[in-house]
Amino acid sequence: MMNLILFGPPGAGKGTQAKRLQELFHICHLSTGDMLRQAVSEGTAVGKKADSIMKEGKLVPDSIMIDMIAERIERPDCAKGFILDGFPRTPAQAGALDKMLKSKDVSINHVIELKVDNDKLVERISNRFSCADCGASYNLITKKPLKEGVCDICSSKKMIFRPDDNAETVSKRLLAYQEMTAPILPYYAGRKLLRQVNGMAEIDEVTKQIKKLIK
Ligand code: AMP
């Protein structure tokens, strides 16, 4: 099994790298942000609760997130392992994850932190968008679709910007990362699991660095 956690502030490239690692290692990609966005679009009870919290750039309550991951990690596509992207985000979530994995007799193999300067994060986030149908991600400056407004992967013309990717919400999300999430890192460092990667490098280069660390 290969069980990974990706850490990094919003815009660090966790989702992009997780999608690549998912294909490379045939493990599941568990993005709590994606799960919440799906719940919002489906109008579920969780989605209704999370919608306004996400728009404000705050964190959704731990109990909701822990239940969400506990259910998802049991599914067959996670049999060979998982990449956690956006979870755990608080010390309580990290503690709950440990308990969950212990009861399954499974352990984390690597924790990777993508390091990116704040200026770069804001620039990336304010220019990013994605395909509503297949989720492929794009950037107005660095990664436009080959044909404007058309997805390179699935040819869909539905491109979307995330409602929480605006300057005001982004600064709150960055703060939440610094205050609630970054304090978990020493916990994994103490267990000799934490590795850092320069998230400012090209996408391919970042993938190469991660592969080198986990082989
Ligand atoms: P992300 O796509 O990871 O940037 O997440 C988008 C938003 O979803 C965050 O700003 C939070 O409001 C919420 N969210 C995602 N994952 C978590 C989590 N593990 N704990 C609390 N809130 C979360």
The pLDDT tens digits for 156-184 are 999 999 999 998 999 999 999 999 999 99
Is 36 part of any domain?
yes
Is 98 part of any domain?
yes
d(CA 94, CA 107): 13
User: Which whole number is the average pLDDT over 29-54?
Assistant: 97
Q: Domain containing 101 — which CATH number?
A: 3.40.50.300
Is 135 part of any domain?
no
Is 32 part of any domain?
yes
In the reported structure, the alpha carbon of residue 46 is separated from the centroid of ligand 1 by a whole-number distance in angstroms of: 13
> 118-130 burial string, b = 16+ CB within 10 Å, else e?
eeebbebbbbbbb
Beta bridge partners of 5: 84, 111
Mark whether 89 is an active-site residue: yes
In the reported structure, the alpha carbon of residue 203 is separated from the centroid of ligand 1 by a whole-number distance in angstroms of: 22
Confidence at 215, pLDDT banded by 50, 70, 90: confident
Number of structural domains (the chain) is 1
Is 106 part of any domain?
yes
Q: What is the pLDDT of residue 12?
A: 97
Q: Which residues line ligand 1 (CB under 6 A)?
A: 10, 32-33, 36, 53-54, 57-60, 65, 86-87, 89, 93, 164, 173
Question: H helices within the chain, ranges in order?
Answer: 14-25, 32-42, 45-55, 62-72, 91-104, 118-127, 167-176, 185-190, 203-214
Taking the CA of residue 31 as reference, the ligand 1 atom at the shortest distance is 3
Confidence at 58, pLDDT banded by 50, 70, 90: very high
Is 167 part of any domain?
no
Q: What percent of the chain has pLDDT over 90?
A: 97
Taking the CA of residue 10 as reference, the ligand 1 atom at the shortest distance is 4
User: Which whole number is the average pLDDT over 19-37?
Assistant: 96
Is 165 part of any domain?
no
Confidence at 105, pLDDT banded by 50, 70, 90: very high
Mark whether 191 is an active-site residue: no
Q: What percent of the chain has pLDDT over 70?
A: 100
Q: What is the pLDDT of residue 117?
A: 95
Taking the CA of residue 90 as reference, the ligand 1 atom at the shortest distance is 20
Is 148 part of any domain?
no
> What single string gives the DSSP state of each residue in 53-78?
HHHTT-PPPHHHHHHHHHHHTTSGGG
The set of residues, in sequence order, having a beta carbon less than 8 Å from that of 157 and lying 6+ positions away, is 149, 150, 151
Confidence at 62, pLDDT banded by 50, 70, 90: very high
Residue 29 belongs to domain spanning: 2-117+180-214
User: Which whole number is the average pLDDT over 120-141?
Assistant: 93
Q: How far is the CA of 91 from the CAs of 4, 42, 94, 145, 184, in angstroms?
A: 17, 29, 5, 38, 6
Catalytic residue among 19, 55, 162, 195: 162
Average pLDDT along the chain:
96
pLDDT digits (tens, 9 = 90+) for 69-91: 999 999 999 999 999 999 999 99
**Angle of the 203-214 helix axis to the 14-25 helix axis, nearest 10:** 50
The set of residues, in sequence order, having a beta carbon less than 8 Å from that of 7 and lying 6+ positions away, is 14, 111, 112, 113, 114, 181, 184, 185
